[in-house]
Amino acid sequence: MKVQRHFSLRFVLGFPLIFAIAVFVFTVKSHINIVNRGIDNEYQRIEEAIQRTTKVIGALDYSFTNQYKSGKVLYLDHQQRVVDGVCQIWPIDALLLAKGKALEIPSVDIDYMVVGSEEMCDTSSALYKSASEKISFAPILSFLFDIDEYHDSVYFIHKSGYVISSPESVALSLTKSLLSTIKARPYWQLTANNPDKVTLSGPSLSMIGEATGKQISMTIPVFFQAEHQGMLAVSIDSERLLNAKDDNLSGRFSIINYTSKPFPPNAIRTHKIDIEGIVSNHALYYELNYTGELKSFLYSEKNSLIMILIISLFLMTFLFYINSNVESDYFKELAAKDPMTGLLNRRGLEAFWATEKHSQQFVLVVFDIDDFKSVNDTYGHDKGDEVIRFMAKSLKNSVRNSDVAARFGGEEFVVYLRGDNTEQMHKTLERVKKQMCEDSTSVLPDGFTISGGVYSSNKAEEGNLETLGDFEEIFKVADEKLYSAKNSGKNSIVF
């Protein structure tokens, strides 16, 4: 027996699953879009920081070049010493200056140092004179160093080998051997080959001195009368610069010189740095961290995922509920109907009777096929079943929707008719009986006849169940009349 359901089990399980997958895919796509927007914003932030540093370099280059052109020098008081063959020159404490030693210099926080060979500390040397001429720009370096959180150091390297640096910690890390080879390093020549351009280098541990992390450096050569005078540079802490500000991003940003190093396998969204005025073979990329991205997705989309789960379970429960109701109704209907004919069975008719108000006159007739046993014996049970189905169909087509037909098992049928005129209903039953007998030749060569017994209500019984009596009593009356019809020659109705 196939159970009747409003929705198939495959649909009940599949539809919520497909819904969950579709919404999950949409959520994943939305999250990926958020991540991509975050990456785009980070790239923009990084490039803006590099562009700001380009302006710092440009401002320094303008100042140094103009100093060479004007020849004007502003000498400032400084302290100096020689440590391990390195001359160190640094400003007198700003607070002391503010107390009256040099009233024209305000109390400011300046942090720089000039380092060079030991000769630079000789006030009569040409090296000291050159350093003194440039040292007036050292406070500007100190100011520009503090202008951006990503700056690690700002410095000027003169062709003679001395260095002006802010902060002073970078200069303090420069040794005699390092100063002697500083111009032999690749970035010196690389920068010199790009006049009027800022050269982007790194990332490396440090271009000069010591550094705790990796740096990218932006350098520009200083020329006067076509002669290379030195190099201005700003070192940027690449790890601080590339550290993502967006909490939705769990991966790392990195910068690479793609001409000398391949991108790693987990690099996505590669983005070449192409900024006007900068010479660069560098690119930014996002290092995909699958575990981190999954955790980030689950954390940021947890509310959406919970809602997907709740809605999917609700849909599944709702569909199961509908199916269970449909199945319940189906089994109730199945219990109340005859499976062969689709008519009500005895239980179904009794249930109908219990809810019927009997607000009109009615008749209850019990029909029985005459000599049905001989039909089975002569033609077989299959033909007998066909006769039963013919009888059921004829009754169903002969009564109104407001009337009821039922099969009580075997060849016995019960019909309930309601109306305002008992006599008219009797005539209807006679007509139905006659028509069925005439049409019975369509299923049996010689046809068959039927007999019936009828219970007819009267006016006093309308709507009065106490007077009417229960179904068993009424059925018994009709059944006894059927017995009389059978005993009186069959093929008749006893009213």
pLDDT tens sequence across 5-41: 566 778 778 888 898 999 999 999 998 999 999 999 9
Sequence-distant (≥ 6) Cβ neighbours of residue 47 within 8 angstroms: 273, 275
pLDDT at 430: 93
Measured in degrees and rounded to the nearest 5, phi and psi for residue 493 equal: -120, 130
In the chain, the domains with their CATH numbers are 41-293 (3.30.450.20), 346-494 (3.30.70.270)
Sequence-distant (≥ 6) Cβ neighbours of residue 85 within 8 angstroms: 117, 118, 176
Measured in degrees and rounded to the nearest 5, phi and psi for residue 123 equal: -65, -15
Token representation of residue 151: 């700056």
What is the pTM assigned to this prediction? 0.64
pLDDT at 71: 60
Measured in degrees and rounded to the nearest 5, phi and psi for residue 450 equal: -135, 155
Those residues of the chain that have pLDDT short of 50 are: 1-3, 95-103, 105, 107, 465-466
The burial class, CB within 10 Å (0-12 / 13-18 / 19+), for 373 is exposed
Strands laid side by side in the 215-224 sheet:
78-83, 86-91, 113-117, 163-166, 151-158, 227-237, 215-224, 198-204, 278-279
Phi-psi region of 71 (alpha: psi -120 to 50; beta: other; left: phi over 0): left
- What angle (nearest 5°) sits at the alpha carbon of residue 159, between those of residues 153 and 162? 55
pLDDT at 145: 86
pLDDT at 94: 52
pLDDT at 351: 84
* 78-137 pLDDT, tens digit each: 888 999 999 999 887 654 444 444 445 454 567 899 999 999 999 899 999 888 888 888
Phi-psi region of 410 (alpha: psi -120 to 50; beta: other; left: phi over 0): left
Q: How far apart are CA 335 and CA 50, in angstroms?
A: 83
- The CB density around residue 240, as the number of other CB atoms within 10 Å, is 14
